[in-house]
Amino acid sequence: MSERHNSAARAAARARITAAIILSSALIGAPALAAHKRGVSPGWGQCRAADPDARIAGCTQVIQEIAKENPHNQAAAYVNRAGAYQAKGDFTHAFEDFGKALEIDPKSSVIFAARGAAYHAKGDLDNALADYDRAIVLDRKSAASLLARAQIWRAKGDVEKALASLEEAAKADPKSTAPLLTVGALHHAKGDHDRAIAAFSEALRRDSKLVAARNGRGACHYAKGDFDKAIADFDAALKVDAHYFSALVNRANAWRAKKDFARAKADYEAALAAKPDSASAKKGAEDMAKLIAKKASGAATPTDAPPPAAEHEHN
């Protein structure tokens, strides 16, 4: 694949994104902790504010008279303030508040998942893994925790454990496509294209307009040398998003492999229009222009370089 990014930067970005997903699921999507119930303190008005400083101020006001709140609200105040501290990069205070929340509700999978996300964001993979494990023991159907644990195993280099956790996540949430996309990407990266195709196909069964799954499955067909099936998937992706860069480059590569240089050139140029700084699209268009010119001169079908690797989202 062309235009690679630094692997360490990608890993760090994955950690931040996954942690954000878990926090969103834990603190916003789960009413058990996100909302207060019949709160006493006027500080609740700010204790769920988007601005971290405002939230810290509001939750602190609640916590100053925490005994007046019911246990649910007590835990919610500490968790919400912990999330605000984390947003500011103050992990010390965040972990203190998560700890206090767990003293109040030691069997909350949501709090363990949220603290795991904080460890994850900090780069402390071992403690993050431990908290995600605890969250999963308490709630086997927590797809967000299973997905996050898979990312930890992936970051630690254990692809098989990552795949196992992802498959659990896909079963836990029958509507979710995120685990299946990652399963497909991991199998594709391993060269197990048939299993990758199966995962991408299941993702498409859940969401037929999921362009990443169309592109991923097409990339697998391309890797297997089945260029017609690959083009069919790239076509389907581009019907949903005509400017989807990866599908444009991949379809160009497939046309190129079939020696249809004119169509390949058109797709490379469309990809370059979508992403003007793309070296792969620029080189592809230039290569096709040269090959088309040679063919027009009356020469035999010119020899081309081996088809490039497919563009796809391994994240």
| Secondary structure class of 313 (helix, strand, coil) | coil
Residue 99 pLDDT exceeds 70 = yes
How many CA atoms, within 13 angstroms, populate the side-chain half-sphere of residue 254?
27
Residue 12 has pLDDT above 50, yes or no: no
Q: What's the rounded mean pLDDT across residues 2-15?
A: 39
- The answer to whether residues 163 and 196 touch, using CB atoms and an 8 Å cutoff, is no
**Distance, CA of 311 to CA of 302 (rounded, Å):** 25
The mean pLDDT of 21-36, rounded to a whole number, is: 40
pLDDT band at 184 (very low <50, low <70, confident <90, very high): very high
Instruction: Give the type of residue at 243.
Output: H
pLDDT at position 40: 80
Written as one letter, the residue type at 110 is V
Average pLDDT over residues 239-253: 98
Does the pLDDT at position 18 exceed 60? no
**Pick from 111-120, 167-176, 201-210, 289-298: least confident:** 289-298
- From first CA to last CA, the distance across the chain in angstroms is 14
Helix (H, G, I), strand (E, B) or coil at 259: coil
Q: Which long-range contacts (CB under 8 A, 24 or more apart) does 193-198 make?
A: 193/220, 193/221, 193/223, 193/224, 194/220, 196/220, 197/221
What per-residue confidence (pLDDT) applies to 269? Answer: 98
Residue 302: the pLDDT is 64
Residue 142 CB contacts under 8 Å (≥ 6 apart), including other chains: 109, 113, 135, 136, 172
298: pLDDT confidence band, cut at 50, 70 and 90? confident
Q: What is the pLDDT of residue 137?
A: 97
Q: What is the largest CA-CA distance in the chain?
A: 89
- Residue 289 is predicted with a pLDDT of 96
pLDDT category at 297 given cuts 50, 70, 90 is: confident
Closest CA to 150 of 163, 138, 141, 140: 163
Calculate the CA 141 to chain-centre distance.
19
Q: Using DSSP, state whether 36 is helix, strand or coil.
A: coil
At residue 300, the pLDDT reads 66
Domains of the chain: 1-139 (1.25.40.10)
Look at residue 296 in the predicted model and tell me its pLDDT: 85
Sign (positive or negative) of CA dihedral 300, 303, 309, 312: negative
> Which alpha helices (DSSP H) does 28-142 contain, by range?
31-34, 44-47, 52-64, 71-87, 91-104, 109-122, 125-138
Task: Tell me the percentage of the chain whose pLDDT exceeds 70.
Answer: 83
- The whole-angstrom separation of Cα 168 and Cα 147 is 9
Average pLDDT (12-38) is 43
Question: Cβ neighbours of residue 89 under 8 Å, at least 6 residues apart?
Answer: none
DSSP type of residue 35: S
